[in-house]
Amino acid sequence: MPTTTEFTQDTLADALSRIVRIKRVSGNEHEVIEWFKAQFGKHGLQFKHTGRNLLAWRGQGDKRLLFNTHTDTVPPNHGYTRDPWDGAREDGKVWGLGSSDAGGCLIGMFHALLSADFDESKCTLMFAPTCDEETQGEGFEHFRNEIPEFEACVTGEPTDCEVCTAERGMFKLDMRTAGKSSHAARPWQGDNAAYHAARDILKIEALYEGFEERDDLLGRTTLAVTMVNGGVARNVVPSEIDWVIDGRTIEQLDNAETIKRIKEAMSEHTKVQREKARFGVWKRDENDPLVKCACSASGKQGVSAFGGVSDAWWNDKAQGLIVGPGFPKLSHAANEYIEEKELFRGYQIYKKTAELFLET
Ligand SMILES: [Zn+2]
């Protein structure tokens, strides 16, 4: 039996405000895990606890739907003018780090678990708050193996309640451009790595602008040079420049092909030092029952793409989608907030999606 049939916006906002006040930067999720354990106990839910991950559930049926989202946040950035952890409720919003990414999803999913109406003898609704999404580590990528097999998984990320069935792949390349050092007063005796790096960096811009491959939902493969470091002193011609490329990819121009094109474009001075391509393109069929249920629950006609990467990637077998309350542009931004009415809408979508999916 659901513990209550419907929660109020006020109850949800209060609960969210409470968890925003718990510091939960990746690696430090213990306290929020304890908070959820206490809540599960209070509502008589069965649950299991491994590391910094939890799984709570209702029902004992074979048809299983999983809600998964992350408890961790990134560290606060320097742009914050508010206390990142005050959890204030002001102007119809809950403020603070992780209020939107992914606090709204955590609170929405938890209350949907408590209040969704379905046949518990035939179905099981599960909720897994997991750690380390922002950094990768010991979260859903491992904990998924401890979860009973599920037919479908809803991944919670702020999408402004858009139903997302795809996300782009991602890679990171550590680049090193080499030259030869000399005294800055005698540059002709050296070979300035900064000039070689500058030319190769501009080739990345040109390469990216020339990509013609497009995906209807995901758009295009993008490249961004995000870090450049080098030099040891003001008066020394640098012999090494280290720089980083962040790539986001579509199936038509995937990680491997993009990396190959980058390598071909570089001068002999620049080499890839380290290649990290953990996430490929993730895509689900928009005709899957789960997607239909979520679209119907949210009143959406069509599906969208999720702008970042998420733990949905680790759901490699079951039906899946990404949906959640909160504006995506506020994730990792200063003075993060979520509108209370948006939080409530997210909760209703989770609840209705579960009811529709589990009754079919
Ligand atoms: Zn997130």
- Is residue 236 within 8 Å of 181, Cβ to Cβ? yes
The mean predicted confidence, pLDDT, of the chain is 96
Tens-place pLDDT, residues 61-79: 999 999 999 999 999 999 9
State percent of the chain over pLDDT 70: 99
Q: Is the pLDDT of residue 360 over 90?
A: no
Binned at pLDDT 50, 70 and 90, residue 6 comes out as: confident
Instruction: Please name which of 325, 337, 354 lies closest in space to residue 161, comparing C-alpha atoms.
Output: 325
Q: How many CB atoms lie within 10 A of CB 33?
A: 20
pLDDT of residue 3: 65
User: What separation in Å is there between the alpha carbon of 102 and the centre of ligand 1?
Assistant: 5
Q: Strand 222-230 relative to strand 282-283: parallel, antiparallel, unpaired?
A: unpaired
Tens-place pLDDT, residues 280-304: 999 999 999 999 999 999 998 899 9
Tens-place pLDDT, residues 80-132: 999 999 999 999 999 999 999 999 999 999 999 999 999 999 999 999 999 99
Instruction: Please name which of 344, 259, 337 lies closest in space to residue 89, comparing C-alpha atoms.
Output: 337
User: What separation in Å is there between the alpha carbon of 191 and the centre of ligand 1?
Assistant: 44
Q: Is the pLDDT of residue 34 over 70?
A: yes
Q: How many CB atoms lie within 10 A of CB 92?
A: 12
User: What separation in Å is there between the alpha carbon of 197 and the centre of ligand 1?
Assistant: 33
Please give the radius of gyration of the chain, using alpha carbons only, rounded to the nearest integer: 23
Supply the pTM of this predicted model.
0.91
User: What separation in Å is there between the alpha carbon of 38 and the centre of ligand 1?
Assistant: 24
User: What separation in Å is there between the alpha carbon of 282 and the centre of ligand 1?
Assistant: 16
Name the packing angle between helices 104-115 and 9-20 (round to 10°): 130
Tens-place pLDDT, residues 122-146: 999 999 999 999 998 999 999 999 9
Q: Is the pLDDT of residue 56 over 90?
A: yes
Q: What's phi and psi for 109, nearest 5 deg? A: -65, -40
Instruction: Please name which of 213, 199, 212 lies closest in space to residue 265, comparing C-alpha atoms.
Output: 199
Distance CA 354, CA 346 (A): 12
- Is residue 299 within 8 Å of 61, Cβ to Cβ? no
User: What separation in Å is there between the alpha carbon of 255 and the centre of ligand 1?
Assistant: 22
User: What separation in Å is there between the alpha carbon of 139 and the centre of ligand 1?
Assistant: 13
User: What separation in Å is there between the alpha carbon of 123 and the centre of ligand 1?
Assistant: 28
Tens-place pLDDT, residues 172-194: 999 999 999 999 999 999 999 99
Residue 45: strand, helix, or coil:
coil
Q: Is the pLDDT of residue 170 over 90?
A: yes
What contacts 41, CB < 8 A, 6 or more positions away?
none
What contacts 142, CB < 8 A, 6 or more positions away?
none
Binned at pLDDT 50, 70 and 90, residue 2 comes out as: confident
Q: Ligand 1 is a single-atom ion; what residues have CB below 5 A from it?
A: 101-102, 157
The length of the chain, given as a count of residues: 360
State percent of the chain over pLDDT 90: 95
User: What separation in Å is there between the alpha carbon of 28 and the centre of ligand 1?
Assistant: 16
User: What separation in Å is there between the alpha carbon of 310 and the centre of ligand 1?
Assistant: 7
User: What separation in Å is there between the alpha carbon of 101 and the centre of ligand 1?
Assistant: 5
Instruction: Please name which of 45, 65, 121, 150 lies closest in space to residue 356, comparing C-alpha atoms.
Output: 65
User: What separation in Å is there between the alpha carbon of 304 and the centre of ligand 1?
Assistant: 17
Q: Is the pLDDT of residue 1 over 70?
A: no
User: What separation in Å is there between the alpha carbon of 318 and the centre of ligand 1?
Assistant: 20
User: What separation in Å is there between the alpha carbon of 164 and the centre of ligand 1?
Assistant: 14
Within the chain, strands assigned E span 46-50, 53-58, 63-70, 89-90, 93-95, 123-130, 152-156, 164-167, 169-178, 182-183, 222-230, 236-237, 240-249, 270-279, 282-283, 304-306, 319-322, 337-339
User: What separation in Å is there between the alpha carbon of 155 and the centre of ligand 1?
Assistant: 10
Distance CA 302, CA 310 (A): 20
Distance CA 105, CA 156 (A): 5
Helix, strand, coil percentages in the chain from 3-state DSSP, rounded to 5: 35, 30, 40
